[in-house]
Amino acid sequence: MSKSGEKQPERQQQKSATTRDGLKETLKVVSEKKSEKPTTAVAKAKLSLAKSAEATAAKAPPALKATPVPRTVTLSREITPTLIAECKERLLNSKSDLMNRIRDARGKLDQFERGGDEADQTMRILAEQEMLNLTDRLRHQLMEIESALGRIESGAFGYCEETEEAIEIERLKALPWTRLSIEGAEIRESVTKRFAKG
């Protein structure tokens, strides 16, 4: 090998030794300066901020520990004869209300004249379409009410069609014609979404 090839590793060793010594010296100076009192205004401000932060942290209350809150509200599922009677009464009232709404919708439709110009005929067609949509929704709800009344008579009222467990009392009071518990409704909804995509 040439002389220059032999000198390169020596130079690299000298440079690394010099660098190591320089770093040691720098660390030594920095640690000495930390122990000295600050002399510049910036250093004094930094020290003041650090002290105030420590003081604030010392005054702060200890961190609150998150503890799980026990669930005290449980949904009751006991179906009593009183509940069934209450639901039956609500279903019958809803049924009569729906029948009155259907009769009123038909009465409003009969108010429109059969003849007239294009605008009158268009208004009649729009009113007929609106009445058909309304009666379709009301007929669907009426079928649900009739089905619930049939389940009361057969003794199957209050049980979920999906899970075959008792429906929550609060849900039955809110929607006496419901066929599904909350869990059953979630199951049916997820199945519907899955098949709607595919």
| Cα–Cα nearest to 180, from 171, 190, 192 | 171
Q: What is the DSSP letter of 161?
A: T
Compute how many other C-beta atoms are within 10 angstroms of the C-beta atom of residue 162.
15
pLDDT at site 134 = 87
- For residue 73, pLDDT over 90 is answered with no
From CA 28, how far away is CA 31, in angstroms rounded? 5
Mean pLDDT to the nearest integer, 50-65: 53
pTM: 0.54
pLDDT at site 167 = 92
Query: What backbone phi and psi angles, to 5 degrees, belong to 123?
Result: -65, -40
Compute how many other C-beta atoms are within 10 angstroms of the C-beta atom of residue 175.
15
Which DSSP string do the residues of 65-97 spell out, in sequence order? PP-PPP----------HHHHHHHHHHHHHHHHH
Ordered by where they begin, the domains of the chain are 81-197 (1.20.120.910)
Dihedral of alpha carbons 177, 181, 185, 187, sign: negative
Would you report the helix, strand and coil content of the chain in percent, each value rounded to 5?
A: 70, 0, 30
Q: Is 160 left (phi over 0), alpha (psi -120 to 50) or beta?
A: beta
Q: Which residues pair with 151 in a beta bridge?
A: none
User: pLDDT, tens digit, for every residue of 99-154?
Assistant: 998 888 777 777 766 777 888 888 888 888 888 898 899 999 999 999 999 999 99
Q: Do residues 75 and 169 make contact, with C-beta atoms less than 8 angstroms apart?
A: yes
